[in-house]
Every structure is written in structure tokens, then in C-alpha cells.
Amino acid sequence: MIKIIILCIAGALFIGLVLFMILRVLCARRNSPSEKENGLPPLLKEELEDAGFSYDRHQDIFCSNVNCWQRKMGYCRLYDEVSPGFHMVMHCEPVAFSYNNKRWLIEFWKGQYGITTGGEIGIYNTEKEDITVEGFTGPFYESVQDSEMLPMSFTLRKYEKPLFSCSAVHWWLTGFRPGEFSFPDTLSMDARIQFPDYEMQKAFTDALIDLGYQSHEYAVRGDTVVLHYTMPHSTQPITRNSFPEALIQKTNRNYCKLYNEITGSYENTPDKLEYLKNMAPKLFEFCLHSLYTRDFYEAFSWMLNLIRDNRISAPDKRRQRHVPS
């Protein structure tokens, strides 16, 4: 499993090197985006929505939409394991607990996602038994239904200074700041989640305590839990230890630097993205879809098909060559 994941990461870094060289050439070129009204141009807005996100111009961040296509993809631990191969280097904090005859997972992420610095809170649950596939045994969670979404918010900080804040009734609350480079351990997240009743709040709080959280790291206010998330207490993905994270982060830093150099003539992200779209459409696609792309989930299409068809045994050898395990 690890060898294949490392090969996937190495391939992604090679592609990154090629794009890096192309971006270096573009540094000397300039072009003006087309005139538009304040906000996103219609075509850019459409492409961003197709990627599953919206743009918050007040904070200069990308935010996931409630009904984005990623909602159909659910979650399992393998997603975090392969994320470095897609230039995502994060701290992951999965908090698992049982409530109302379901197994729940509320996970917190913060770190570097390609050319963006970001944070996430995801809510998932399942009534099914663990799955067993090649290289993995564990729960596969579905994204929660509308009636199960929770009011939540977070402020992402870098060196204790606020970068941005997000707040919504959601199943996957996210914020990603383009052109910002960060190491995960320089980021902290102050998160707040309002639960529907005492039982769910207690189950979540007990899970935090089981992970090792101390009283100074969280607070309970009625049915609301406030979490100060600095360093994860849970075991991190093994891929963070088996492949040089520094190399991935060096690539991410270079992308951020070049993104800022190339688009330095423009003050806001819509102008910057439109400029890249006009000058180099493929690079625009790379920048826009660096966050949980369809390619990311395509790596798990075999597993999703098995789960949705209730066939949760290991994939056959014909499929194994497509599996980053």
C-alpha cells in the first residue's frame, strides 16, 4: 500500500515540477483580465461552482457549497492517507463516537492545500459495519443528511493571528485562502459546534477526552462545544512519515510564490484567476481544482462502487492497478 502511495506522490511531484517551469516562464508575461462588474465573472463563477466551491470576496477565501458534488463521496481514512499525493499536507483530527444508533465522525483539518492555506470541519455517520478492502479495514462514513447538519464555525489562525472565519449550518465547513503558504503546526483553529441535545454533546466531548484533550483545550457551554485545536492528538496518516513532507511543502511554497509573482498586478483573487485563465488555461485548472478534485476521488471509484453495491470485499487484480493503497 505504502509503495503505491509513494509512487502516486512522486508522479504528482513530477507533474508539479513541469508546471513549475511553465509558471516560471509566465512570470515575465502580463495581460489584463476582461472588464467585469464587482465580484466573480459569470464564467469564473460557473467553473468555481462546478468545482464545488464559492468565493467569499470579503475574506478572499474559497468555501465549499452545501450541495457540492463532494457530498456524495463520503469519507474513510484512506482519503487522508493519499492526500499528500495531491499536494495536501494537513493535520487531521478525527473524532469518532456513537449517537442515536449510528457511528459518527466529526473531523477537523488544517494545513496547506496546494496553493492555498485552509481549514475544514466535516460531519459524517454510518449505520453499516466496517468495510474490508485491499490494504484497509475500517468504517466508511456517508456525509450527513440535511436534517443532521449542525451549526458550526471556526476561526483559522496563523501564528495566533486570524486569517479568516467561517460559520454556517453545514456538513463540510471549509475555508481556503489562495496564495497563502503555511506549515500545519503554525496554524490553529478555534472551532465551535452546536449539538441538538445533551446526549450528542456528551458523546462528542467524551470522545475528545478519550483522544487526550485537556480541559484547557475545550469548553462546554450547554449543548455547544468550543475547541482550541493546535496539535492533533490522534495518530496521523502514515504517509506523512513515509515520504519527505518537506519536498511536498517546498513544491507548495514555490507554487504560492509563483502565483503571487505572476498575479501580483491584481488586487483580488477573481482578477488573478481570470488572468491565469486567459494566459494559461491548464494552469488555471490546476489552481482552481487543487482542492479535493474529481481526480482525488476517482482514485477510490472502485471502493465506492463496491460499497454502494454492498460488495465490500477486496477489489480484484484487474482493479488493483488503479488503487493507491
How many other C-beta atoms lie within 10 A of the C-beta of residue 288? 20
In a domain, 28, yes or no: no
Of the chain, the percentage scoring pLDDT greater than 70 comes to: 81
Name, in order, each residue with C-beta under 8 angstroms of 114's C-beta and a sequence gap of 6 or more. Answer: 86, 87, 88, 252, 255, 287, 290, 291
- pLDDT of the residue at 27: 46
- Per-residue pLDDT band for 89 (boundaries 50, 70, 90) equals very high
CA distance 87 to 113: 6
- Per-residue pLDDT band for 142 (boundaries 50, 70, 90) equals very high
Is the pLDDT at 133 greater than 90, yes or no? no
Is the pLDDT at 323 greater than 60, yes or no? no
- Per-residue pLDDT band for 310 (boundaries 50, 70, 90) equals low
In a domain, 78, yes or no: yes
pTM (2 d.p.): 0.84
In a domain, 194, yes or no: yes
- Per-residue pLDDT band for 16 (boundaries 50, 70, 90) equals low
Is the pLDDT at 62 greater than 60, yes or no? yes
Per-residue burial over 244-282, b if 16 or more Cβ lie within 10 Å, else e, is: eeeebbebbebbbbbbeebbeeeeebbbbbbbbbebbee
pLDDT (mean) for 292-320: 67
Provide the residue range defining the domain that includes 248. Answer: 2-22+37-320
Query: Phi and psi dihedrals of 267, rounded to 5?
Result: -90, -30
165 contacts 153 by C-beta, under 8 angstroms:
yes
Lowest mean pLDDT among 19-28, 42-51, 88-97, 236-245: 19-28
pLDDT (mean) for 34-44: 64
180 contacts 256 by C-beta, under 8 angstroms:
yes
- pLDDT of the residue at 238: 86
Task: For residue 277, give the nearest of 64, 15, 45, 18 by alpha carbon.
Answer: 45
- Per-residue pLDDT band for 244 (boundaries 50, 70, 90) equals confident
CA distance 244 to 161: 28
Split into its structural domains, the chain has a count of 1
In a domain, 119, yes or no: yes
pLDDT (mean) for 40-48: 84
In a domain, 31, yes or no: no
Each residue of 211-224: pLDDT tens digit? Answer: 999 999 999 999 99
- 3-state SS string for the chain: CHHHHHHHHHHHHHHHHHHHHHHHHHCCCCCCCCCCCCCCCHHHHHHHHHCCEEEECCCCEEEECCCCHHHHHCECHHHHHHHHHHCEEEEEEEEEEEECCEEEEEEEEEEEECCEEEEEEEEEEECCCCEEECCEEECCEEECCHHHCEEEEEEEEECCEEEEEEEEEECEEEEEEECCCCCHHHEEEEEEEECCCHHHHHHHHHHHHHHCCCHHHEEEECCEEEEEECCCCCCCCCHHHHCCHHHHHHHHHHHHHHHHHHCCCCCCHHHHHHHHHHHCHHHHHHHHCCCCCHHHHHCCHHHHHHHHCCCCCCCCHHHHCCCCC
- Cα angle, residue 71 at apex, residues 116 and 177 outer, rounded to 5°: 15
In a domain, 29, yes or no: no
Is the pLDDT at 151 greater than 60, yes or no? yes
* Interaxial angle between packed helices 42-50 and 269-279, expressed in degrees from 0 to 180 and rounded to the nearest 10: 90
In a domain, 306, yes or no: yes
- pLDDT of the residue at 28: 41
265 contacts 89 by C-beta, under 8 angstroms:
no
Is the pLDDT at 262 greater than 60, yes or no? yes
- pLDDT of the residue at 243: 64
In a domain, 88, yes or no: yes
127 contacts 232 by C-beta, under 8 angstroms:
no
Most confident of 86-90, 127-131, 152-156: 152-156
Lowest mean pLDDT among 103-117, 130-144, 305-319: 305-319
pLDDT (mean) for 225-242: 91
